[in-house]
Structure 1
Amino acid sequence: MTNEVATVGKETTKQEYNESEYPIPVFTSMGMFIIDEIHWPDQNKSLYNVLGGGGTFATFGARLVLGPEKSRQTAWIVDIGNDCPPEISDELLNKWNTGVVVRYDNSRKCTRGRNVYGANDFRSFNYMTQKLRIDIPDLLKYEHMLRSKSYHLICSPERCTEVLNNLKPLRLQKGDSDPVVVWEPIPDDCNPEHLGRCVKILDQVDVLSPNAAECAAFFNEKEPTNKENCERIGSKFLQYMTKNEHSGIVLRCGSLGCLCITKKGKKWFPAYHSDPKAADYKVIDPTGCGNSFVGAFAAAYVLSGFNFDLGCVFGTLASGLCIQLHGVPKVERHGDDDELWNGVSLEELLNRYLERNSALGIANDHIIDTLRNFDY
């Protein structure tokens, strides 16, 4: 029988869910927590018990932006089975200190995935245990998540619509405005056959954020390798982004960076690791970079009053941290307010990025403090 409990802070503190103990989130992910193993057969190399999952990476991105003081305004659901390594539960529940709801079930294993990498960008993924997807009934159990300022949805267009249709009347009862919705289509839907289904729901989405390969696949094209083709393909969706004046597309284009497309025009943001000669250049594993980007983008976008530039900058910083290692970036706390991710503070990352990319025209005038003190 499922032993469903909520926890605040530590895994050992088990108690019933109490809405009053959770702040209203800036960001909520409906992605999953997964424990990965990674194999490189050609290198005779393997890694086990690697923290992963779309929800985990996206939550990291938002948590990075929100910082230690507002860390609990990052919301998600983590299902922990009977085989969760203590170092992983400690990372999630103690070091991150998010507004997580943890559900324990000793009758099942954690959701686990197997990643295999090979030559010529080969990658395969399969679930090794039964996956436990976060769905609408899960969200409806937790009042604080229903009031979130933004949502990260990685799903089919039909499920996206179903989630939003269920949320709307409940939010109206609470007097809450429409949330910011950042949607990542699932790769299986990114093909010409499903294009119509996807564009049909874009009037309910604030930000569409596929990667360049997924975007091109909608039109039966190969992944674009230059900016001109990224702009051409990404722009095809702009006419459908009609939810409000803030709606737009953020196309994640790997080493080219990210492309923001709105009614105001197009703007490129270079990748954080764009210069192999830079002292901090470190490219190890792109897994989770897209989800991390979206989480950081959404949090910064909300906290900046819908500023695409700042959303893209902080999304780029999150993905830049993510690519430096296998799994999710590591956090170290120094006192109550200071923290380092992969050994570097967010302020230092931001300064480096803006100095290297002065053409963006963004000055670091206490941006992080401004975001974290934003009255939304």
Structure 2
Amino acid sequence: MDSASASASAPDEISFLSLGMLVLDELHLPNGQVLRDDIGGSGAWSMLGARIAMGHRDAQKVGSFIVAGHDFPESAIQVVRGLGVTLGIIFDPTRESTRGKLVYHDKAFNSRSSGARYASSFPLFITVLTGHVDKTFEYLTEPLQPTPAQLPRNLLAARAFHMLLPPEAVLAQVPELLSRRQAAGIRESPFIVWEPLPWKCTPENLDAHKEACKLVSVFSPNHLELLGLFGSAKPNSTDGPNDDGAKSQQAVIKKCASELFDGVADGAWQGMLVVRSAEMGCFAKSAAGGGLSNTFRPYHVDQKAVVDATGAGNAFLGALAASLGIVAQKKDSSGQATQQQDMMAAAPVVGDAVLLAEAIVRASVVASFAIEQIGFPNRTLVKGVERWNGDTFVRRYETKADAIFGGVSDSCDFT
């Protein structure tokens, strides 16, 4: 492989890096319009989420690592560079770039039918149906997945990582990542936020997911993936008949989440489970800081603001990973050192429930920008003020977060 890594002006410290893929999407809209080489994929969206959370003054602390084929367009590179992030890119002249086809079947681009169908002819992927399908996605080329072994040192030293992987890859790549960091003299344990592959979230893979969780700081399935791990049924439930109402669905989500967390924690795991549930918000559970078990409503309660939820979950997790680093620095500056672990184990989340809640709120605000349009939100910078879709992250966080999300409580209710 030929490679070109980050520029010489890159900062000494990288706060965030995604090990997800940047996918060149071919978008087929209901009106017949086709958009080509649109930037997508978990790597792109989680990078964008971290970038919004960090702000333009710290843009270079956000890393973007791309494994590109011989056909990777310069226009896509310029879009990433235009965000001011630290870019690392490896070119494989023998391969085509990762390309996908995303077809929208419904003129109403919203999350009311939030399911998606994933399909591919490649052995690594299978077809999965989740919920009411309004869009379909398939890979057009064999995916080029970044690995820790490919990272240059500056990106290897990132404070936080986002991964979209099956559990067996987590069990292999997290130790590899930590071992390479140790060999490079990087002593600090990183925050690792893991997003599972939808088609791997089946009951026969539940134990594998529990084992992989023990190596990461945050495990974050969406509610459909969580339910898939339990066969879409109440685990060990003695409750009455399940109706199809929202309250019943929320109760099932909470029950599955609690059982998964308890099965992983076993008194030892200091990580956090975050279940992303679209318009229902997210449910977070952690043993750190005396325990966090709380529900956070989405920023956009009115679903009329939702145009297309594609990429919102990735953006949320990128922002969450970056924000964990931010709130950990707050704790460091207050004289309370963050806990360190053996280098072959992932770092725990911050041991403070209030700071964990702050990180989740920041991520939820970032996700609000991802769902207001198809593709990336519009960015402008006027007199040093950065706006996304005409609004600022700071304004949304400061004026809306407290009223919408509230504080940390012992309540697990979806409200």
TM-score when normalising by structure 1:
0.83
Please tell me whether residue 323 in structure 1 is matched to residue 371 in structure 2: yes
Q: 1:107 to 1:313 in 2, by over 3 A?
A: same
1:1-376 aligned at under 5 Å gives the runs: 2-8=1-7, 21-40=10-29, 43-81=31-69, 83-84=71-72, 87-93=75-81, 95-104=82-91, 108-118=95-105, 120-139=132-151, 142-173=152-183, 174-221=185-232, 225-226=246-247, 227-239=250-262, 240-241=264-265, 246-263=270-287, 264-276=291-303, 282-305=305-328, 306=350, 307-335=355-383, 337-354=384-401, 356-357=403-404, 359-360=406-407
Q: What is the CA deviation profile of residues 78-108 of structure 1, one whole-angstrom value per residue up to 9, with x for unaligned ones?
A: 2444555554332211x21111112345665
CA contact (8 A) 2:294 2:408 kept: no
Q: What is the CA deviation profile of residues 303-332 of structure 1, one whole-angstrom value per residue up to 9, with x for unaligned ones?
A: 112322112111111211101111122322
CA contact (8 A) 1:202 1:243 kept: no
Q: 1:225 to 1:218 in 2, by over 3 A?
A: farther
TM-fit CA distance, 1:110: 3.1
Q: Distance in 2 between matches of 1:123 and 1:224?
A: 24
- After superposing the two structures, state which structure 1 stretch, 142-151 or 54-63, moved more: 142-151
Q: Distance in 2 between matches of 1:53 and 1:243?
A: 35
- After superposing the two structures, state which structure 1 stretch, 122-131 or 295-304, moved more: 122-131
Q: What is the CA deviation profile of residues 146-169 of structure 1, one whole-angstrom value per residue up to 9, with x for unaligned ones?
A: 222111111111211212212223
Q: Distance in 2 between matches of 1:107 and 1:268?
A: 47
1:25 maps to amino acid: I
CA RMSD of aligned residues (A): 2.6
Residue equivalent to 2:238: none
**SS of structure 2 residue aligned to 1:4:** strand
Q: Distance in 2 between matches of 1:47 and 1:170?
A: 39
Q: Distance in 1 between matches of 2:365 and 2:133?
A: 24
TM-fit CA distance, 1:129: 2.6
CA contact (8 A) 1:153 1:182 kept: yes
**SS of structure 2 residue aligned to 1:131:** coil
CA contact (8 A) 1:109 1:129 kept: yes
2:166 maps to amino acid: S
TM-fit CA distance, 1:193: 1.0
Residue equivalent to 2:115: none
Q: Distance in 2 between matches of 1:62 and 1:260?
A: 19
Q: Distance in 1 between matches of 2:378 and 2:270?
A: 33
Q: Once the two structures are aligned, what percentage of the paired residues are identical?
A: 24
**SS of structure 1 residue aligned to 2:406:** helix
Q: 1:243 to 1:321 in 2, by over 3 A?
A: farther
Instruction: Kindly tell me the number of residue pairs found equivalent between the two proteins.
Output: 342
Q: Distance in 1 between matches of 2:196 and 2:245?
A: 18
CA contact (8 A) 2:13 2:157 kept: yes
In structure 2, runs of 5+ residues without a counterpart are 107-131, 234-243, 329-349, 410-415
Q: Distance in 2 between matches of 1:90 and 1:244?
A: 45
In structure 1, runs of 5+ residues without a counterpart are 9-17, 363-376
Q: Distance in 1 between matches of 2:181 and 2:149?
A: 15
